[in-house]
Amino acid sequence: MNEIDKRIAEDSDEGQRLDKFMLKMLPESGLRERRRLIESGCVTVNGRSCRSGLKMFSGAEVVLFDAEDRSCAVEILSRVKVVKQGDGFGAVYKPEGLHSAAVAGSPAPSVEECLDGIFSGQDPILANRLDFLTSGMLLVAFGVERENEFRAYEDSSTVDKIYHAKVHGIPDESFIVKNRLDTEDRKRTKVLDEQASPERWTSAEVVKSYEDGTSLLDIRIAKGARHQIRAHLAHAGFPIVGDSLYGREDGADRMYLHHRKIILPGFEAVCETGW
């Protein structure tokens, strides 16, 4: 993507929200426009994508990229399907091998860039993300108020996200991985010897076992962190089939992790596994 502006935050910018700081770069823009650019990956802070509410700090390098370098390709729209649409939320299916959110500084396509075309006029905001290799549902909030409502549900553990994972090994019984995660390294999440808060736990229940020594698990999380399920299952001794980062090279045709169901107050959507 083409870089069109760069600014370094000063001491006087300390604590200011990113979407307000960007007035220096886009003085005639509206708040919604600036937020859209940030959430679509056209803005980075110290080389990373971020959210509109990020608080600025002295020395932060803010880069604005050309939004016209991003577009929702027709082939992406053909692969993304609406699972459910309600008054405040919607859900779409994302196949494996496609980014959920725009990757800052990269022209790689994503579902996020297509949301305006899918939910025209509803101010759609991507509310959750899935790994590039994970298939399943993405939740879409219609407007900032609904997005904030969803974040509050996550923090209070009133969201239930249910996945199917095919793993190496067959657990003797259901289990919960409670370890806290270190996500500072964006490529690989570390599992720590400390207990996380309950909304960050990963619960697993055996659905089916196979003769080849693998099994199908029902996985439940409330909030989640980057690579949480992948890292937690590998730590428990049951790496996901096809996950070479946390498991091993096993010759699988894909990574077998699928987000199949999401439940929150007033909204429920299901997208069954197609394996």
Q: Of 197, 157, 194, nearest to 179 (Cα)?
A: 194
Min mean pLDDT across 30-39, 79-88, 198-207, 211-220 is at: 30-39
Q: How confident is the model at residue 30 (pLDDT cuts 50, 70, 90)?
A: confident
pLDDT tens per residue, range 162-202: 999 999 999 999 999 999 999 988 789 999 999 999 999 99
**Would you place residue 237 in the very low, low, confident or very high pLDDT band (cuts 50, 70, 90)?**
very high
**Calpha distance 202→215 (Å, rounded):** 17
Mean pLDDT on 199-223: 96
What does the pLDDT look like over 155-173, one tens digit per residue? 898 999 999 999 999 999 9
Q: Domain of 147: which CATH number?
A: 3.30.2350.10
User: What integer is the mean pLDDT of 205-231?
Assistant: 96
Based on the fold, state whether residues 16 and 92 are members of the same structural domain.
no
Query: pTM above the 0.85 mark?
Result: no
* Structural domain containing residue 99: 74-155
Cβ atoms 107, 70 nearer than 8 A = yes
Q: Which two tokens stand for residue 162?
A: 């249910």
Quick check: 136 and 259 in contact, CB under 8 A?
yes
Is residue 121 domain-shared with residue 181, that is, in the same domain?
A: no
Residues in contact with 225: Cβ distance below 8 Å, sequence separation at least 6, in sequence order: 181, 183, 189, 200
In which band, very low, low, confident or very high, does the pLDDT at 1 lie, cut at 50, 70 and 90? low
Residue where a domain terminates, one of 106, 131, 155: 155
List phi, psi (to 5°) of 2.
-85, 130
Looking at residues 81-94, what average pLDDT do you find? 94
Model pLDDT, residue 71 = 55
Q: Tell me, yes or no, whether 184 and 197 share the same domain.
A: yes
- Bridge partners, 179 (sequence order): 195
When pLDDT is cut at 50, 70 and 90, the band that residue 275 belongs to is: confident
Of the candidates 228, 258, 256, the residue with the CA atom closest to the CA atom of residue 243: 256
pLDDT at position 38 over 90 = no
Q: In the numeric block, which tokens belong to residue 263?
A: 């439940």
Same domain, 78 and 64: no
Looking at 113, 129, 155, the residue that finishes a domain is 155
Q: What is the CATH number of the domain that holds 24?
A: 3.10.290.10
The count of structural domains within the chain is 3
> What is the predicted pLDDT for the residue at 150?
95
Contact criterion met (CB below 8 Å) for 1 and 69:
yes
> Given this model, what pLDDT does residue 49 score?
76
Q: What average pLDDT does the structure give for the chain?
A: 90
Whether residue 275 is contained in a domain is answered as no
H or E stretch covering 261: strand 257-264
Class of residue 149 by CB neighbours under 10 A (exposed 0-12, middle 13-18, buried 19+) = middle
Q: Which residue has the tokens 């999401």?
A: 262
Q: What is the dihedral of CA 175, 150, 119, 33, to 10 degrees?
A: -130
Same domain for 36 and 99, yes or no, is: no
Q: Which residues of 48-79 are buried (b: 16+ CB within 10 A; e: fewer)?
A: ebbebebebeeebebbbbebeebebeeebeee
pLDDT (mean) for 72-85: 78
Would you state the pLDDT for residue 210? 96
Which of the listed residues 155, 188, 219 is the one where a domain comes to its end?
155
Asked if the structure places residue 192 within a domain, the reply is yes
Determine what percent of the chain is predicted with pLDDT higher than 70.
93
Q: Which position has the higher pLDDT, 110 or 62?
A: 62
Residue 95 has pLDDT above 90, yes or no: yes
Quick one: 135 and 171 in the same domain?
A: no
